[in-house]
């Protein structure tokens, strides 16, 4: 089994954190700001003393000035639920560098960062299965669970036609805790739009990583060719000339622009990623500039 992330790279990931734009109430102690008031070291507010309150939280300086008892309140730090959804359809098993390997590594890094941050991690792989629309990774928490996450990703196999709309709608209906949610996909099925729409409606804080191979963005084709859909096996014969390739690039650009507009209208963080981008540069620089990591 190929190692997704090198140990030396994991040390660098220990210093990163997933960005959450919303404050949520969690279940366990973690490193996210919560709307609750508790006992961390970050000051939040004052309130008047009531009988039964902890004397240790009284602000005696305020009492000396105002001759009234006030408590100092602090921001409670709790965990978030981080969701990572990976497209494991047949179309991901293509390209140079291969989209599927790249997606596995991105998911591995982001999941590891969530676990290091003491967040609860839940995963799903959208792939063909006889009985389920996706393969689940049940909730895990703490850095010690990173091996389970890596093993789950490494054992996934892309394949078959999928139904991303029904899979994401079922996921949204099943998962009780909304939170930061990252989708990693080439978006080659029209159903992704309806599924992501449902996630946004269910108060998930969606980040969409649109993963494409260089050959999909700028193909180097020439002459008479027969192209076959990797999922449906439908084929079409073409003559690859300058005019055809120019129209193809224009259509791809229009497609990207439509996804950008779709995401912008729903407060979804959209990022186009080409698999030729060096992986460490993607994680340590690109994702931080896009406000996905900090």
Q: Which of 167, 82, 172, 168 has the alpha carbon at shortest distance from 123? A: 82
What is the spatial distance between Cα 160 and Cα 145, in angstroms, rounded to a whole number?
29
What is the spatial distance between Cα 164 and Cα 192, in angstroms, rounded to a whole number?
5
Question: At 27, is the secondary structure helix, strand, or coil?
Answer: coil
Who has greater pLDDT, 205 or 240? Answer: 205
User: Which pTM was predicted?
Assistant: 0.80
* Contact indicator for 180, 20 with CB cutoff of 8 Å: yes
- pLDDT, mean over the chain: 84
Band of pLDDT at residue 79, cut at 50, 70 and 90: low
* Contact indicator for 210, 255 with CB cutoff of 8 Å: no
Sketch out the chain's domains with CATH numbers: 7-15+82-289 (3.40.50.410), 29-78 (no CATH)
**φ, ψ at 217 (rounded to 5°):** -85, -35
* Contact indicator for 112, 147 with CB cutoff of 8 Å: no
pLDDT at residue 89 tops 70: yes
What is the spatial distance between Cα 227 and Cα 258, in angstroms, rounded to a whole number?
25
Q: Give the side-chain half-sphere CA count within 13 A for 255.
A: 17
| Segment (H or E) for 111 | helix 99-116
Name, of 17-26, 66-75, 267-276, the range with top average pLDDT: 267-276
Q: What angle do CA 268, 290, 3 make, to 5 degrees?
A: 100
Residues 6+ apart with CB under 8 A from 58: 49, 69, 70, 71, 72
- Per the structure block, which two tokens stand in for 200? 């946004």
Which range among 13-22, 110-119, 124-133, 230-239 shows the weakest confidence by mean pLDDT? 230-239
In this prediction, residue 64 carries a pLDDT of 80
What is the spatial distance between Cα 163 and Cα 191, in angstroms, rounded to a whole number?
7
- The C-alpha torsion from 218 through 224 and 230 to 235, rounded to 10°, is 130
In this prediction, residue 161 carries a pLDDT of 79
Residue 141 CA, distance from chain mean position: 16
- Per the structure block, which two tokens stand in for 128? 């063909």
How far CA 87 is from CA of 52, 111, 159, 255, in Å, comes to 53, 15, 10, 18
What is the spatial distance between Cα 95 and Cα 216, in angstroms, rounded to a whole number?
8
Who has greater pLDDT, 47 or 231? Answer: 47
Q: What is the DSSP string of 144-181?
A: GGHHHHHHHHHT----S---HHHHHHHHHHH-----EE
* Residue pLDDT, tens place only, 125-176: 999 877 888 999 999 998 999 999 999 999 999 987 789 999 999 999 988 7
Facing residues of 238 across strands?
225
In this prediction, residue 1 carries a pLDDT of 45
* Contact indicator for 142, 117 with CB cutoff of 8 Å: no
Band of pLDDT at residue 52, cut at 50, 70 and 90: low
């Amino acid at each position: 089994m190929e190692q997704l992330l090198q140990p030396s790279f994991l040390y660098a990931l220990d210093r990163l954190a997933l960005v959450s734009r919303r404050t949520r109430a969690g279940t366990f102690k973690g490193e996210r700001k919560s709307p609750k008031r508790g006992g961390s070291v970050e000051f939040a507010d004052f309130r008047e003393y009531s009988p039964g309150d902890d004397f240790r939280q009284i602000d005696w300086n305020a009492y000396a000035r105002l001759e009234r008892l006030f408590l100092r309140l602090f921001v409670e730090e709790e965990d978030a639920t981080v969701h990572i959804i990976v497209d494991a359809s047949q179309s991901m098993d293509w390209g140079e560098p291969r989209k599927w390997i790249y997606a596995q590594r991105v998911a591995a890094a982001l999941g590891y960062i969530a676990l290091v941050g003491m967040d609860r991690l839940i995963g799903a792989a959208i792939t063909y299965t006889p009985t389920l629309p996706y393969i689940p990774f049940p909730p895990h928490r703490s850095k010690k669970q990173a091996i389970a996450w890596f093993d789950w990703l490494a054992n996934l196999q892309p394949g078959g036609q999928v139904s991303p709309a029904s899979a994401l709608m079922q996921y949204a209906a099943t998962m009780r805790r909304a939170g930061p949610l990252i989708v990693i996909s080439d978006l080659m099925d029209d159903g992704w739009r309806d599924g992501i729409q449902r996630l946004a409606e269910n108060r998930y804080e969606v980040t969409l990583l649109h993963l494409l191979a260089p050959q999909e963005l700028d193909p180097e084709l020439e002459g008479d060719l027969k192209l076959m859909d990797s999922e449906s096996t439908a084929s079409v014969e073409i003559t690859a000339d300058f005019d055809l390739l120019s129209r193809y690039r224009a259509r791809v650009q229009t497609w990207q622009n439509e996804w950008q507009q779709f995401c912008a209208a729903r407060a979804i963080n959209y990022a186009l990623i080409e698999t030729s981008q060096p992986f460490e540069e993607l994680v340590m620089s690109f994702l931080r500039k896009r406000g996905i990591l900090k």
